Amino acid sequence: MDFPIFHLDFMGDRLLIAIIAVLHVLINHGLAVGFIPLVTWIEYIGFNKGGQNTVTHTEWDTLAHRLMTVAFIITTTIGAMTGVGIWLSSSLVNPASIGSLIRVFYGAWFVEWLVFVTEVVLILIYYLSWKKSLVSVEAKAKHIRLGTALSIFSWITMSIIVSILGFMMDSGSWAENKTFVAGFSNPIYLPQLAFRTPLAALMAGALALLLARIFTSKNSEIRIESGRKIALWMLVAVPFTLIGATVYYLRIPHLMIGNLPVAIGTMEFQSWYDLLVKFIIGAISTVIIIAGLVYFRPNLKIPSAFYVLPVLGMLAFAGIFERIREFIRKPYVIGNYMYSNTLRKDDYPLYKRDGLLAHATYSPVKEVTPENRLIAGEQVFLLACSRCHTTHGINSVVEKFEDMYSLKPNESLNKDLMKNYISHIENARYFMPPFPGNEAELEALVAYIQHLQSTGLPPEPLETSLNSK
């Protein structure tokens, strides 16, 4: 309430964060956390294969170096920028929740920053000193140790952030004692980490399998051998991913599971839930089948195009997983503490008593009057609904009401039905927070939505609204 409201009406604020964050996670898991240990392992295989008078097996080393080139370029550009982008977008859209998270995770974030900077320094040294590592066996051994250290640091950064993600879903005993340790060791933390770690390895494997295919020449021994090693890596990661997913699923609070169908497919497609679940199972099976064939049938000629399938499967799987994680936590942005509309649960009685606008620092109107009703309604919409809805863009509030009441073209929304719906909105759909304002604000919101429906335009600004306090 004490921050300005940033609102993107055409696409919605949720989508802005989602695009940046999902891209970041795919790069972080697929090309850093899971990928760097894999590259280090391939480098190590080359080192082991090196003959008496050579430092390493050149073909294997070149393959590891090429894989690392891809990871280096993408993680240090799009990876780093989307990382900062998550901060930018989430603090624009929901500064209050970022504020609360910083209060709880203050020290953890500081440590994370130190670990992250170390990771960046290590990745620079690891990649840029590759040529130098070829001069002696000692230099190569040192370089491999550097890769191992880098792998550990990139896992640690992820493992700190995962605690915060778990906390947002279920704050656990923190709600009672408010200590950092209680927040950090929230019930979802370790299960989610147990799932993400092998997931990252699997994603990295799928990507490396495709890249190794591109970087090696037809019928070469290294193509078959490296394919088998990477496929083995993936096959080892599969059971851990499935066990991790199950442990994690069992830890998700019961009420959130009810959000799953809408989380996976939106309301329009929730009846397709079963089909989408089958699609996810299909995607994972494809990954297993391709890895299995590459490993167990090394002489089988699999067309290159098939190597794209595990990558697409893993990207889709991880993308859907992130959407579900973000969605099922609703109506909360921080479990049982702060609703997704940025309002704290404990402050609701205050808003009911004084009205929402009275506490909204940046609202031009502090109280609903007959003259400012539409402007007040717009403010109430921004405060109570705009973190998830737009007026006319994606997930438009007008369309949602029209669809829910199955209106015919040109038919107007009914005021009383809407009022009644909004005042019990949390019972109608568990994923929406209760309406926070008073009776006059509810009326103003309904009038505003009706105005949007009939004119398609925002209300005229009040000439005096800014200077008449």
By CB under 6 A, tell whether 387 contacts ligand HEC.
yes
- Least CB distance from residue 146 to ligand HEC, whole Å? 45
Supply the Cα-derived Rg of the chain in whole angstroms.
26
Contact between 156 and 108 under an 8 Å Cβ cutoff? The reply is no
**Considering beta carbons, is residue 291 or 384 the nearer one to ligand HEC?**
384
Q: Which parts of 311-330 interact with ligand HEC (CB under 6 A)?
A: 330
- Of these, 140, 143, 389, 451, which contacts ligand HEC (CB under 6 A)? 389
Contact between 167 and 186 under an 8 Å Cβ cutoff? The reply is yes
Of 17-25, 261-269, 286-294, 368-376: span binding ligand HEC (CB under 6 A): 261-269
By CB under 6 A, tell whether 57 contacts ligand HEC.
no
- Of these, 31, 432, 447, 462, which contacts ligand HEC (CB under 6 A)? 432
**Considering beta carbons, is residue 118 or 420 the nearer one to ligand HEC?**
420
- Least CB distance from residue 269 to ligand HEC, whole Å? 8
The CA-based dihedral angle spanning residues 57, 63, 69, 71, taken in that order and rounded to the nearest 10 degrees: -120
Of 133-141, 206-214, 260-268, 295-303: span binding ligand HEC (CB under 6 A): 260-268
- Of these, 27, 55, 294, 385, which contacts ligand HEC (CB under 6 A)? 385
**Considering beta carbons, is residue 75 or 342 the nearer one to ligand HEC?**
342
By CB under 6 A, tell whether 17 contacts ligand HEC.
no
Q: Which residues contact 123 (CB under 8 A, 6 or more apart)?
A: 36, 72, 75, 76, 150
**Considering beta carbons, is residue 69 or 270 the nearer one to ligand HEC?**
270
At 412, phi and psi to the nearest 5?
A: -90, 155
**Considering beta carbons, is residue 108 or 263 the nearer one to ligand HEC?**
263
- Least CB distance from residue 389 to ligand HEC, whole Å? 5
**Considering beta carbons, is residue 236 or 267 the nearer one to ligand HEC?**
267
Contact between 389 and 441 under an 8 Å Cβ cutoff? The reply is no
**Considering beta carbons, is residue 57 or 400 the nearer one to ligand HEC?**
400
* x/- map, 392-431, ligand HEC, by CB under 6 A: ---x-x--xx--x-----------------x-----xx-x
∠ CA 228-232-233, nearest 5°, is 120
Name the token pair of 189: 């933390």
- Least CB distance from residue 460 to ligand HEC, whole Å? 22
Give the 3-state secondary structure of residue 344: strand
Contact between 337 and 169 under an 8 Å Cβ cutoff? The reply is no
What is the spatial distance between Cα 269 and Cα 275, in angstroms, rounded to a whole number? Answer: 10
Give the 3-state secondary structure of residue 333: strand
Contact between 252 and 169 under an 8 Å Cβ cutoff? The reply is yes
Of 152-160, 215-223, 352-360, 384-392: span binding ligand HEC (CB under 6 A): 384-392
Helix H, strand E, coil C: the string for 275-328 is HHHHHHHHHHHHHHHHHHHHHHCCCCCCCHHHHHHHHHHHHHHHHHHHHHHHHH
What is the spatial distance between Cα 321 and Cα 120, in angstroms, rounded to a whole number? Answer: 27
- Least CB distance from residue 423 to ligand HEC, whole Å? 10
Please state whether beta strands 332-334 and 338-339 pair in parallel, antiparallel, or not at all (unpaired): antiparallel
Sites of contact with ligand HEC (CB under 6 A): 262, 266-268, 330-331, 340-341, 384-385, 387-389, 395, 397, 400-401, 404, 422, 428-429, 431-433, 435
